[in-house]
Amino acid sequence: MKRTIGSLLSVIIMLSLTACADTPSSNTLPTEETSVTVDADTHDSPTTEAESAATETVQTSETEASDTAETLVNTTETINVTSESSETEEAPVEYSASLLTVSAVTKNGRSLNYTINEDGGYAYASATYSSGYIPDSELYAATLSAEAENGTCSFSGGTQADLTQTQYLTVTDTNGVQKTYTVMTERTEGKLPIVNIYLDSGKGVSDIDRNDSIGMTISIDCSKAPEYPESLSTVSGTIRGRGNSTWKWEKKPYKIKLDEKAEVLGLPANRDWILLANYADKSLMRCSVAYDMGRVMDNLDWTPTQYPVDLFINGRYQGVYSIGEHMETAKDRVNVTKQSEDSEECGYLLEVGGVDSKVTTKNVDYFNVKSGMLMFIAFEYPTPDNITDAQKKEIKKWFNNADEAIVSGGDIGEYIDIDSFCDWVIIQELTNNTDSAFRRSCFFTKDVGGKIKMGPIWDFDLAFGNLVVDNQSYNTWTIIGSDAEGAYVTPSWGNYLMKNEQFRSRLRERWHEVRDELLATAMASIDMYAEKIYPSQVENFKVWQIWDEKPGYSSWANYNANTYELQIQYMKDFLTKRAAWIDNNI
């Protein structure tokens, strides 16, 4: 599996100021000198003519993932006041923020505005994550400009400049007084790929709808992530909202469809991709870690991939998202036999909880098994529009036969692939994915001539101890439902499988086969993603200020983990304790 590093470029311009005044002429009266000091660290003020030039020193600080990096100009300035008589004195012009403006335009037409703050003698400029993404390539050929009241401005290297290198600006006023500014570019670099989406026809983020797609272009910059084979050049497509409850939250998830197939971050070429917001997941990695764990389980035919990225839409920072593979049938995804005019037989992809009693079932084709232990099984493939009556009859028969065997304690191996069921259950139990647990986001496949298989695994943003309805002691089996009124997980196939010795024996054996590798993979993934996400999470939580909130349906048990470091430790502790509980109860 490819490991990910992303990258984020934020441009911060810092100015250092050096002031020089003309030496008084020899026929003047003795000079009266006034020393004004604005830096506690500056040594003695100059007292001779040779030392009369005022100096301003730039102190730069290069930090990762800051909203605004500032360079302070600490000024020690001696002003020599001369006059031809004791009654007349003439002071040189003093510059302030109102007298000088400096700006730059990148080769793609984006502006950088330099801010000068005269309070305390400080000068600084900044560009933050939220102000827009500017890659190195745009800085190599920028156009600098400056204007000064009653003065002229000149850049030592001309107005066409490489802003990744130090530049110098000299301002000369009408009295010949000069000030030289050192113009530097310091960039805050993240470690995630940068996804840039621009919407068509002047559309904004608020125009993206869950039901209707709008045009867009998308590109991915991996210049700071050399482990990816290449960046994605700008391609066209459409974008729309996705998700059920997650679409109602402030940070929205999206589905994108490219006009032509393309590889994304080294994943097999496809037109369909998703961008998960992970709003309720303050670790910003739960799905990515779970899918890494899923690839250890080789009885699952296919496990999707999700990579953390920084998302910009129309140049504005949206936060840390994860981009990855959409749940669909395809050669490199859920690979089942496609429908054909020559045969009624085909493969199936179905979702338990694809619809439920609380949402409309209009135009959604689904069925329930006879026992009622699996409800609202929706057709993902073939789609409701394309599935034939014969195909519906065939797959319903298989599920009802499996249902009878599972509920009665019969020979379940005749109808279900026990090994895939075991791998799926182990992932759900170790991560405590209550949101799935045979109730929703729970997928099955059945190919021609084969048995019912579990998988792919899906939807882990509320797993790893992050769902508000969880048993906070985490000392029960996730897939065993309750008859209690209002229970989040109700009785299902899981209740019967966990007391079926044929299944339980194989589950126990499989747990001991994969336990150590599964746990090691999880811990390594957490560490890897934490390092890559860390600079960007600072900016994400400036846009989405939820550290002191319980977003979405997240858990109270996780509420006090109100720093990124605590979130990472919470996940590790959870997995360690959960694995120990399974050891003692399997």
pLDDT in tens, 373-413: 999 999 999 999 999 999 999 999 999 999 999 999 999 99
Pairing of strands 306-313, 316-325: antiparallel
Q: What per-residue confidence (pLDDT) applies to 78? A: 33
| Model confidence, pTM | 0.77
In this structure, are residues 438 and 403 in contact, taking their beta carbons and an 8 Å threshold?
no
Rounded Cα–Cα distance for residues 513 and 270 (Å): 34
Pairing of strands 306-313, 194-199: parallel
Alpha carbon 332 to chain centroid distance? 24
Which pair of structure tokens corresponds to residue 440? 């929703």
For the chain, how far is it from start to end, CA to CA, in angstroms?
Answer: 30
Backbone angles phi, psi at 147, to 5 degrees: -135, 140
In this structure, are residues 350 and 378 in contact, taking their beta carbons and an 8 Å threshold?
yes
Rounded Cα–Cα distance for residues 327 and 370 (Å): 27
Q: What per-residue confidence (pLDDT) applies to 512? A: 98
**153 DSSP β-pair partners:** 171
Which pair of structure tokens corresponds to residue 341? 């005019």
Q: What is the pLDDT confidence band of residue 35, given thresholds at 50, 70 and 90? A: very low
* Residue 473 burial (CB count, 10 A): 9
DSSP-assigned letter for residue 30: P
* Residue 247 burial (CB count, 10 A): 14
* Residue 117 burial (CB count, 10 A): 15
pLDDT at 470 over 90: yes
Q: What is the pLDDT confidence band of residue 297, given thresholds at 50, 70 and 90? A: very high
More reliable by pLDDT, 277 or 556: 277
Q: What is the pLDDT confidence band of residue 355, given thresholds at 50, 70 and 90? A: low
Q: What is the mean pLDDT of the chain?
A: 82
In this structure, are residues 487 and 441 in contact, taking their beta carbons and an 8 Å threshold?
no
In this structure, are residues 20 and 2 in contact, taking their beta carbons and an 8 Å threshold?
no
pLDDT in tens, 543-568: 999 999 999 999 998 999 999 999 99
Rounded Cα–Cα distance for residues 205 and 220 (Å): 18
Which region among 69-73, 204-208, 454-458 has the lowest average model confidence (pLDDT)?
69-73
Exposed (0-12), middle (13-18) or buried (19+): which is 459, by Cβ within 10 Å? buried
Alpha carbon 41 to chain centroid distance? 41
Q: What is the pLDDT confidence band of residue 117, given thresholds at 50, 70 and 90? A: low
pLDDT in tens, 426-468: 999 999 999 999 999 999 999 999 999 999 999 999 999 999 9
12 Cβ contact partners less than 8 Å away, ≥ 6 residues apart: 68, 69, 70, 71, 125, 126, 127, 185, 186, 187, 188
